[in-house]
């Protein structure tokens, strides 16, 4: 019976080639979308990778004196958010350093790492040295990123649920742009990209974002109170002026557009406007993206002190710098930042 059915199906397809082709394309696209959207392209259990590095970390060895939580109570002074929108579950040294440095400088805050690649809230984390190391810090929480839940109740819900969204060329960076502004609007606190090294507590930089360079704001650092009108306008602009085919249109360009309208200005400089601060570049972007190679150049202790005098955090521009070899140990600026502000990650780097 099976050969007879196949023969009939073949005859039908051949006699209706255009329609059959359209139907096949529709079925394939629908199938692919469902798989991608639900995150079940493969069995999560079979997708857990094995690692050459030891996944077991001795907290006493790598974090001999973990930061004390203020007054012995659970962290309560706001949250610091990190977001990983890809399916990646193998954190890099820089990722680990970012979270560690934030945990050390914000002992009274919950440092929440949201990762799209994690499957369930109750499932154990994949075996990887970074997860073991970060678990040594009592204020660090690593959780799955539930995008449907995150965008619910916001203008971005319909944007995210559009079936062909995942095929856009810059979907992952745009998704990251969307997550940060929704997190700030819904919960407030501090958002940081996973290529920051935090030097000082950021809690006093409220309702603020940083100037990347002349006339451009960057959203790699955001700090806002929940339900702030500025973040609400950012969500509205995200949807109304959406263009996922232009790099940065939903990120730095969006924040720059909204801030100029917010302040009724044409050119952005370090300023305080209607309760929102545009921070000078040296506060969180002391190394301009054009000069990212300086991170790998040797600097003296006095030069480092002078460079970072007014700096709260250093953006490492990982998109540009990730392929550059860093000598460990060395007097390179980046190596010194690792050594001082994420010593546990630095110790693991030296061991490896």
**Alpha-carbon span 347 to 84, nearest angstrom:** 24
In tens, the pLDDT along 240-287 reads: 999 999 999 999 999 999 999 999 999 999 999 999 999 999 999 999
pLDDT value for 122:
67
pLDDT value for 13:
45
Structure tokens at 16: 């209706």
The residue ranges of every structural domain in the chain are 79-284
pLDDT value for 60:
79
> Is residue 18 within 8 Å of residue 95, measured between CB atoms?
no
Check pLDDT > 60 for residue 30: no
3-state secondary structure string, 229-269? HHHHHHHHHHHHCCCCCCCCCCCHHHHHHHHHHHHCCCCCC
**Alpha-carbon span 216 to 200, nearest angstrom:** 24
**Alpha-carbon span 225 to 184, nearest angstrom:** 7
Rounded average pLDDT over 215-239 = 97
pLDDT value for 229:
98
**Alpha-carbon span 113 to 143, nearest angstrom:** 6
pLDDT value for 161:
92
Residue with tokens 């007014």: 310
How many CA atoms within 13 Å lie on the side-chain side of 238?
27
pLDDT value for 31:
43
pLDDT value for 57:
81
> CB 3: neighbour CB atoms within 10 A?
7
Check pLDDT > 90 for residue 28: no
The neighbouring-strand residues paired with 278 are 209, 271
pLDDT value for 320:
96
pLDDT value for 100:
98
Residue-averaged pLDDT of the chain: 85
> CB 34: neighbour CB atoms within 10 A?
12
Rounded average pLDDT over 190-212 = 97
Question: Of the candidates 189, 215, 191, which has an alpha carbon nearest to the alpha carbon of residue 203?
Answer: 189
Task: Quickly state the pLDDT bin for 63 (edges 50, 70, 90).
Answer: confident
Structure tokens at 80: 């610091």
Task: Quickly state the pLDDT bin for 46 (edges 50, 70, 90).
Answer: very low
In tens, the pLDDT along 126-183 reads: 999 999 999 999 999 999 999 999 999 999 999 999 988 889 999 999 999 999 999 9
Rounded average pLDDT over 117-125 = 81
Query: Dihedrals φ, ψ of 278, to 5°?
Result: -100, 110
Q: Name the architecture of domain 79-284.
A: Alpha-Beta Complex (3.90)
Q: What angle do CA 39, 159, 83 make, to 5 degrees?
A: 55
pLDDT value for 20:
53
Whole-angstrom Cα Rg for the chain: 23
């Amino acid at each position: 019976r099976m050969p007879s059915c196949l023969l009939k199906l073949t005859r039908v397809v051949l006699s209706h080639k255009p329609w059959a082709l359209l139907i096949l394309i529709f079925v394939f696209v629908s199938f692919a979308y469902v798989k991608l959207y639900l995150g079940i392209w493969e069995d999560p259990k079979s997708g857990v990778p094995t690692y050459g590095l030891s996944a077991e970390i001795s907290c006493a060895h790598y974090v001999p004196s973990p930061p004390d939580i203020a007054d012995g109570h659970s962290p309560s002074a706001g949250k610091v958010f990190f977001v990983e929108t890809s399916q990646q579950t193998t954190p890099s040294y820089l990722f680990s350093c970012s979270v560690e440095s934030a945990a050390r400088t914000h002992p009274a805050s919950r440092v929440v790492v949201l990762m799209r690649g994690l499957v369930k809230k109750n499932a154990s984390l994949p075996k990887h040295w970074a997860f073991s190391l970060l678990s040594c810090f009592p204020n660090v929480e690593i959780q799955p990123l539930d995008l449907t839940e995150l965008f619910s109740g916001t203008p971005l819900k319909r944007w995210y649920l559009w079936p062909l969204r995942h095929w856009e060329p810059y979907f992952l960076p745009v998704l990251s742009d969307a997550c940060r502004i929704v997190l700030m609007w819904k919960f407030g606190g501090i958002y940081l990209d996973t290529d920051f090294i935090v030097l000082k507590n950021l809690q006093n930089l409220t309702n603020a974002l940083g100037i990347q360079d002349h006339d451009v704001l960057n959203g790699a650092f955001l700090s806002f109170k929940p339900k702030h009108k500025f973040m609400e306008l950012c969500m509205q602009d995200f949807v109304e002026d959406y263009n996922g085919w232009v790099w940065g249109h939903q990120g730095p360009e969006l924040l720059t557009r909204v801030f100029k309208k917010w302040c009724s200005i044409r050119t952005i400089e370090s300023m305080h406007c209607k309760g929102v601060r545009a921070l000078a570049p040296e506060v969180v972007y002391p190394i301009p993206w054009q000069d990212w190679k300086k991170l790998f150049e040797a600097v003296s202790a006095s030069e480092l002190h002078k460079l970072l005098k007014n700096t709260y955090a250093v953006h490492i521009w990982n998109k540009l710098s990730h392929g550059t070899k860093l000598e460990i140990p060395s007097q390179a600026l980046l190596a010194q930042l690792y050594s001082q502000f994420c010593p546990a990650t630095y110790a693991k780097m030296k061991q490896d």
